[in-house]
Structure 1
Amino acid sequence: MKSAVLVIDVTNDFLTGSLKNDRALKTIQPIKELLGRAHQQAVPVIYVSDAHYKEDHEFEIWGQHSMKGTWGGQITEELAPKADDYTFEKRTYSAFFQTGLDSLLRDLQVDNVILTGVVTNICIQHSAADACFRGYEITIPKETTEALNDDDYEYALNYVQNMYGAKITSLSDTLN
């Protein structure tokens, strides 16, 4: 089985900006550790981040955030992509929706996606759904994703496990 690590929405706005989430800050170090392992093992690392335009309908729900070309829309410096990593922009919840991600994963012959980032019950959950619908296996290391509260976090992990067969693992059991 060939894996790729997907790093979803680790932008400044999600961590310290307009949608600041102190819970999400706890994911930085575990994601950094996982990325170190991925790079050592030549596992592809793919960033997919919100890059919104002022017309995006999502603002009706969440307010303006991660605007394309702004500081808030940039990937946080602590998790900045390496030269050989891949980056995609998205305008809605799923990392797969109109991003080119699926084509890249198929070119790389990936069959397992390791989902990391925020927010577990929104972008991670919707990305897991689209990954499942496209035939990918899904792994989620618990320490590398976070929601706005415990209930949403646990619900989302249970949902993707029960509905999409996602493997919920610990960081220590991922890419070892």
Structure 2
Amino acid sequence: MARYAVIVVDMLNDFVTGSLGCDNAKKIVEPLQRLCDAARERDVPVVYANDSHLKGIDRELELWGDHAVRGTEGAEVIPELTPKEGDYIIPKRRYSGFFQTDMHITLQELGVDTLIVTGLHTHMCCRHTCADGYCYGYDIVVPRETTSSFTDEDYEAGLAYLKEVYGANVCTLDEIPW
């Protein structure tokens, strides 16, 4: 039997309404709330993989400008998805939620073998998190309503890539096989 974890990638103020605000992100907030609530009711861990950049030195800031700088309001999870007691928060300085973070060891200690990857952006941070998750041996589930990108084209390309390259189960919320 699979042991799931919901991974919420970069649902931060700067990505939803701030310096890198994405109008499409607003569409996934309510489905993400429902998914996180359902996960908690099933004792499925909810893990937040949050950009937490160091101003002036992180490479991503060279490409994207200042965003999600550690200690700022922009680096906080949006109020609608505030982590609850018992949730896990994994700060990250690169696209992947795994790269030089505690993600893998945390998931191992929780006995997780299947990731439900959500959040922003399907073709970037979600993609890199799925890549590393796949390489560590996790199965990947991506509910369509809970991830997005700046453009519909990037979103669809991201989902297609996750399905083709990592065998992700791209499904709807109602089709999550838990």
Category of TM-score, reference length = shorter chain: over 0.9
Q: Tell me the TM-score normalized by structure 1.
A: 0.98
1:98 CA displacement: 1.0
1:133 CA displacement: 0.4
1:135 CA displacement: 0.3
Instruction: Map 1:136-147; keep pairs closer than 5 Å.
Output: 136-147=138-149
1:60 CA displacement: 1.6
2:58 matched residue in structure 1? 56
Determine helix, strand or coil for the equivalent of 2:83: coil
Contact (CA 8 Å) 1:38, 1:175: kept in 2 or not? Answer: no
Determine helix, strand or coil for the equivalent of 1:114: strand
Unaligned runs of 5+ in 2: none
1:38 matched residue in structure 2? 39
Runs of 4 or more, structure 1, over 4 Å off, are: none
Identity of aligned residues (%): 43
1:175 CA displacement: 5.8
Instruction: Map 1:5-154; keep pairs closer than 5 Å.
Output: 5-54=6-55, 55-154=57-156
How many residue pairs match? The answer is: 176
Q: CA RMSD in A?
A: 0.9
1:155 matched residue in structure 2? 157
* CA–CA separation in structure 1 for the residues paired with 2:75 and 2:88: 16
* CA–CA separation in structure 2 for the residues paired with 1:159 and 1:113: 16
* CA–CA separation in structure 2 for the residues paired with 1:11 and 1:174: 24
Contact (CA 8 Å) 1:6, 1:115: kept in 2 or not? Answer: yes
Contact (CA 8 Å) 1:50, 1:89: kept in 2 or not? Answer: yes
Contact (CA 8 Å) 1:112, 1:136: kept in 2 or not? Answer: yes
1:174 CA displacement: 2.1
Contact (CA 8 Å) 1:7, 1:115: kept in 2 or not? Answer: yes
* CA–CA separation in structure 2 for the residues paired with 1:79 and 1:88: 15
Determine helix, strand or coil for the equivalent of 1:126: helix
1:57 CA displacement: 1.0
* CA–CA separation in structure 1 for the residues paired with 2:101 and 2:80: 24
**Aligned AA (2:102):** G
CA offset digits 1:100-123 (Å, max 9, x no partner): 110011111110000010011000
Contact (CA 8 Å) 1:52, 1:68: kept in 2 or not? Answer: yes
Determine helix, strand or coil for the equivalent of 1:139: strand
CA offset digits 1:8-38 (Å, max 9, x no partner): 1000000000001010111100000001100
**Aligned AA (2:104):** D
Q: Tell me the TM-score normalized by structure 2.
A: 0.97
* CA–CA separation in structure 1 for the residues paired with 2:166 and 2:177: 21
